[in-house]
Structure 1
Amino acid sequence: MAGCGPTASTTGAGTPGAAPTAVPGADKLVACPPTESRPPVSNGLPDITLPCLGGGPDIRLADLRGPLVINVWAQWCGPCRDEAPYLAALQKKAAGKIQMLGIDYIDPQPAQAVQFALKHELNYPHVVDSEKLVRKPFTVGGPPVTVFVDKDGKFTVHHGVLTSQEQLDQLVKDKLGVAL
């Protein structure tokens, strides 16, 4: 995995974890919304701040509450391509019921990540984790990983590729109590 890390030219101002600068097409992505600052929750999302892949402010994960689906992905990940249509469909049919957030994980080519999100119509905010900050709290061996966050900010993790729309819809119902 060492060869999959970002290079100095892919991060803004040389700051670790910084968002890519001037990535073509990034302005076409859904902007990251401002979030209300909240205290971290016991057994909740980690107190990690990640830069937005498109426009908008950095997102502090500990501020987020559900119902929320977070998907850890990368443009170089074959299984991520396989499950992308299910995530896009979920976003369309669950709008107003759940929120969604993508985490572009250790992706060395931010322009291709932007194109991946646009091509697969992943029309929700995405942040960048170029430093593997979510690896430990979400036990990421590699993408894809899907995280389900309840209204109290506590989360459960599904490891591996989502294999059908039915599976994803059932996970949303079981983990978040939201029927679609």
Structure 2
Amino acid sequence: MRRTLVAVVVALLALQGCDSITPPEVDKANKSDVDVDTPELRKLKDRTEVADCQPTQEGHVDGGLPDVTLPCLGGGKDVDVAGLRGPMVVNLWAVWCGPCRRELPIYQQFHEKHGDRVPVLGIDFQDTQPGAALDLIRETGVSYPQLADPQTDLSLKDPLPNIAGLPYVILIDEDGVVRDQRFEEIDDLAELEGLVSKHLGIDL
């Protein structure tokens, strides 16, 4: 009974995060279907202000992100997310997710105001439209680095749950440990600052 209740709560949270637009079906058996690094996509990325992806040097830590290597959206170096060290804010988003589109400018505001102390990393998640994703990045003025996970490789990899809805935010401390993760649309800069202060212990 208790497990059923938990499952229902998680499902409701996921539904609250996403609007009526549903993600496209992704065939995990054929990962070559979605290519996030083509000459055309590189040209689109050149029209943005997005920073280069930085490969990680550290290894996996207990409680940290899973040992999954993701490509850089629109070309660049792959990143093993297990090596990410914070304090850091990681935002999972997609073109098809209405709330994600609304909150991208808020993450950009945070990046511009606090990025020197708490970097932001975006992950275009379960998205089969990398070109549209880069167009949205350009339109919203986002400049922090962007990875891509079109095949949902992060989902169900401990300590992450089945990421069944977006947007999703993950807070990582200086040791690489995930201190908070949630299905939640961020409504304003103050809310995001409050989450960072509460869970990462940084006074912004």
Largest Rg, 1 or 2? 2
| Counterparts of 1:96 and 1:177, CA distance in 2 | 16
Structure 2 residue aligned with 1:39, among 28, 38, 59? Answer: 59
Q: State the TM-score, normalizing by the size of structure 1.
A: 0.87
CA deviation string 1:116-161 (max 9, x = no partner): 1121122111111011111224321121000000001111202121
Partner secondary structure for residue 24 of structure 2? helix
Name 1:21's counterpart in structure 2: 38
Q: Percent identity?
A: 34
* Number of aligned residues: 174
Gap change, CA 1:69 and 1:17, over 3 Å in 2:
farther
Q: State the TM-score, normalizing by the size of structure 2.
A: 0.78
Name 1:60's counterpart in structure 2: 80
Name 1:178's counterpart in structure 2: 202
1:3 aligns with 2:19: no
Structure 1 residue aligned with 2:174, among 134, 142, 151? Answer: 151
Kindly state the Cα deviation for residue 17 of structure 1 after the two structures are TM-superposed: 6.9
1:74 aligns with 2:94: yes
1:17–1:51 Cα contact (<8 Å) kept = no
Amino acid at match of 1:141: A
Partner secondary structure for residue 100 of structure 2? helix
What is the root-mean-square deviation of aligned Cα atoms in Å?
2.2
Q: Which moved more, 1:21-30 or 1:165-174?
A: 21-30
Q: Which has the higher helix share?
A: 2
Name 2:4's counterpart in structure 1: none
Structure 2 residue aligned with 1:126, among 125, 133, 146? Answer: 146
CA deviation string 1:71-96 (max 9, x = no partner): 00001110001211210100000021
| Counterparts of 2:81 and 2:91, CA distance in 1 | 13
Name 1:93's counterpart in structure 2: 113
| Counterparts of 1:75 and 1:110, CA distance in 2 | 9
Name 1:164's counterpart in structure 2: 188
Unpaired segments of 5 or more residues in structure 2? 1-21
